[in-house]
Amino acid sequence: MTQEVSTASEQIAMGPAFWIATTIFLLAYGLIMYEKIHKTIIAIFGAALLIVIGIVTQEEAFTSLELGVDWNVIFLLVSMMIIINIMKPTGCFEYIAIKSAKMAKGRPFMIMAIFSTVTAIVSAFLDNVTTVLLIAPVTLLICQALELDVVPFLITEALASNIGGTATLIGDPPNIMIGSKAQLGFMPFVYHLTPVIIVVLIAYVISIKFIFGRKIVVKEELRQRVMAMDENAAIKDPVLLKKSLVVLAVTITGFVIHGMLDLQPATIALFGAGLLLLVSGIKDPHRVLAEAEWSSLFFFIGLFIIIGAVVKVGLIKWMSIKVLELTHGNLFGTSMIVMWFSAFASAFIDNIPYVATMNPLIIDMAKQLWPNLSGVELLHHPDLMPMWWSLSLGACLGGNGTAIGASANVIVVGMAEKMGRPISFKKFMLYGMPLMIESVIICMIYVWIRYYVLKI
Amino acid sequence: MWIYHPLKAGDKMGGCMKAKDIMIPFQDYLKPDDTLRAAVKLFKTAVRGEQKTGVMGLPVLDEKGKLVGMLSMMDILRAVYPSYMSMMNLGDFTWDGMLESFAKQAGYKKVKDLMTRDVVTVREDDPLMECVDHLVKNRVRRLPVLDKTGKVVGMLYVRDIFFAITKAMLEEDSGGVK
């Protein structure tokens, strides 16, 4: 398990370009964490500055596979946003949520468990923020109908969305980024991450039963308010809904077989978005396109250029050497450190810039360990694979630790505040942190048994 | 007793009418810490020209008399209407007594938490077309009128501008007949 590490610190030329790029990188990350200026503005300006100074050329920033914007990520994200924006007005998400509440027969814990499970499943296919924005409004309505405190429901849904998002390539942006850099498709994520996420989700539902199960009770007559709701009334455009579901099925099938088709996931998503735009009968696509989250997309674009610059000047290589020196090339130890460090880092900082930094770091680490390998041989080296999964599990699940750990958490905290039920940082952490630690412990055992004991 | 005359004889219909010519002199206002219960009572009793009472929006002034916001009927509807309902199509899933119970709860909310802070205002000497420009572009139905010192001196309602427009239209018609 222990590999020889070449101490190649001397190979990195720490000239002015190195220090300028490192300073801009650290300043940008510092300002992103400080949150006084919008993170997208920082990312765009930082990226532009690095090109203007000449640390990276425009060509590198725009077109280089190694140093530039990862268009796989951008197109996958924007295409999925377009599909959801077309589907949203059909009422299918309201239908699913009302139907779920009725399936639970208005019993509060059952509603919590079913909503959490539905959130996790939907989150595996849509991004977490979108899922929470679709489920939470109905949750608030149901809670008010049942005269229940909304806080436990909102927290459990945010946590469930982060858990579910970890299960697939398209569930959470860190996975999209890892999949693109590591050249891992949809099915490897299903094969390696979905099983452990199912276990994590089951453990999560059992845990919330112990935490909230007895605290939430509802009067019989209030349950009737929910039972009287007709979920069929939610469907506003059945024709568009049918078309959307068919296109969604085609897209997901495309994700499953994209390897066989020799197509990238972004191509599949773009095809799905294009097909739905075509068959939906939308005359002017302006609304659907305008509603894409351009701020997030430009955040990614800026970030990729900033990371490209510090990869080019050798900062990431230097960091990867330091990590290997620390772990003496012990890959099990490294993967455990990656998982736990990622979890705690993601609990406090945005996991997107974190993973954007970790991806090239892991690739550089692999180059130190196996200097004779390159391309897929290097990226998919059997000893490297657990590292990718550890990064994904740590970075995605770590978001559950605090109220600021994941965008979904920030959204529900904002919603709760609007409802006059603010959730303090401490309160969220009281629930989030133990549940995050529980999930990472399960993942740690999984990675250890699967990749280091059974080696499958 | 102040008597309201929408357009008095000799008004400058041929010239340039100003905001001050048709505004309702300032009288009723809300304070930021007033509750919505107090606000809706004032909505019912506030003077609205021609000795009528009842308004659909009022300015909010702080203790120094400075304009800090506007509260309209729509703001009160929003206070009762849960924010999550605007995020999705949930209008089909309400229950009996929902509005009444939400209205009772909303009664204790503060004006400052619901008022529109970014108030569109006009100066008393602003021409009416400029006032129309503000009303149309900002989709508001009333404009506080300020004097040179920034103090609120009146309220300009969309209805009163409409009357001014009506009068101009009809005068032109009658002129044509002549």
A271 with A153, same domain: the answer is: yes
A277 & A394 share domain? no
* Cross-chain CB nearest to A236 (options B82, B85, B89): B89
Tell me if residue B122 falls in helix, strand or coil: strand
Kindly provide the residue ranges of all beta strands, DSSP E only, lying in chain B, ordered along the sequence: 24-25, 57-61, 67-72, 122-123, 142-146, 152-157
Place of tokens 């206002």: B29
Q: Is A362 within the bounds of a domain?
A: yes
A344 and A230 fall within a common domain? no
- Winning range, highest mean pLDDT, from A1-10, A19-28, A323-332, B151-160: A19-28
A188: in domain: yes
Helices vs strands, H then E, count in chain A: 23, 0
**Tens digits of residue pLDDT in A211-263:** 998 889 898 889 999 999 999 999 999 999 999 999 999 999 999 999 899 99
Task: Give residue-wise pLDDT tens across range A279-311.
Answer: 999 999 999 999 999 999 999 999 999 999 999
Residues A77 and A64 in one domain: no
pLDDT interval class at A1 (50, 70, 90): very low
Question: Chain A contacts of B84, Cβ < 8 Å?
Answer: 136-138, 140-141, 415, 419
Determine whether the interchain pair B95/A225 forms a contact, defined as Cβ–Cβ distance below 8 Å.
yes
Same domain, A306 and A449: yes
Residues of chain B with Cβ-Cβ distance to A419 below 8 Å are: 82-84
What is the rounded CA–CA span in Å between residue A293 and residue A352?
Answer: 15
B13: in domain: no
The per-residue pLDDT for range A368-387, each reduced to its tens digit, is 999 999 999 999 999 999 99
Whole domain around residue B51: which residue ranges?
Answer: 19-177
- Which of B36, B84, B99 to mutate to probe the A interface, most A CBs <10 Å? B84
Instruction: Judge whether A346 lies within some domain.
Output: yes
Q: Is A7 part of a structural domain of the chain?
A: no
Query: 């996931």: which residue's tokens?
Result: A265
What per-residue confidence (pLDDT) applies to A279? Answer: 97
> Tokens at residue A418, please?
């609007």
Q: Is position B44 within any domain?
A: yes
Q: How many domains does chain B have?
A: 1
Binary contact (B83, A230; C-beta < 8 A): no
Instruction: Assess if residue B74 is contained within a domain.
Output: yes
**Which CATH number does the domain housing residue B167 bear?**
3.10.580.10
Predicted pLDDT at B4: 42
In the predicted structure, residue A28 carries a pLDDT above the cut 50: yes
CB A88 within 8 A of CB A245: no
Q: Report the distance separating Cα B71 and Cα B30, nearest Å.
A: 8
| CA–CA separation, A313 and A309 (whole Å) | 6
Q: pLDDT band at residue B49, thresholds of 50, 70 and 90?
A: low
Q: Are A406 and A351 in contact (CB under 8 A)?
A: yes
The pairing of beta strand B152-157 with beta strand B142-146: antiparallel
Q: Establish if B6 belongs to a structural domain.
A: no
Residues A96 and A35 occupy one common structural domain? no
Q: A402-450: per-residue pLDDT in tens?
A: 998 999 999 999 999 888 899 999 999 999 999 999 999 999 999 999 9
Residue A30 structural domain? 12-68+301-405+430-453
Same domain, A120 and A208: yes
Residue A87 domain flag: yes
Q: Do A419 and B88 touch (CB under 8 A)?
A: no
Has residue A2 been placed in a domain?
Answer: no
Which residues from chain B sit within 8 angstroms of residue A133, using beta carbons?
Answer: 87
In this structure, the answer to whether residues A321 and A392 fall within a common structural domain is yes
Say whether both A286 and A308 belong to one domain: no
pLDDT number for residue B50: 65
Rounded average pLDDT over A17-25: 95
Q: Do residue A38 and residue A95 come from a single domain?
A: no
The number of domains in chain A is 2
Decide if A98 and B93 are in contact by the 8 Å CB cutoff: yes
Which of A89, A133, A228 is closest, CB to CB, to B87? A133
Give the model's pLDDT for residue B12.
47
**For the whole model, what pTM was predicted?**
0.85
What is the band of A141 on the pLDDT scale with cuts at 50, 70, 90? Answer: very high
Say what the pLDDT of residue A103 is.
Answer: 94
Q: Backbone phi, then psi, for B146, in 5-degree steps?
A: -110, 150
Assess whether A25 and A93 both reside in one domain: no
B82, B89, B92 member nearest A140 (Cβ): B82
Q: Is residue B111 part of a domain?
A: yes
Q: What is the pLDDT of residues A167-213, one digit of tens each?
A: 999 999 999 999 999 999 999 999 999 999 999 999 999 999 999 98
Classify the complex by whether its ipTM is higher than 0.90, answering yes or no.
no
What pLDDT, in 10s, does the model give residues A301-352?
999 999 999 999 999 989 888 888 888 889 899 999 999 999 999 998 889 9
Q: Do B84 and A415 touch (CB under 8 A)?
A: yes
- The answer to whether position A80 is within a domain reads yes
Q: How far, in Å, CA of A313 to CA of A55, rounded? A: 8
The separation between the first and the last C-alpha atoms of chain B, rounded to the nearest angstrom, is 38
Q: Do residue A174 and residue A260 come from a single domain?
A: yes
In a domain, A5, yes or no: no
Confidence check: pLDDT of B172 > 80: no
| Cα gap A360→A366, rounded to integer Å | 10
Q: CA angle, A412 as apex, A406 and A418 as ends, to 5°? A: 140
Question: Which helix (DSSP H) or strand (DSSP E) does residue B69 occupy?
Answer: strand B67-72
Encoding tokens for residue A392? 């994904």
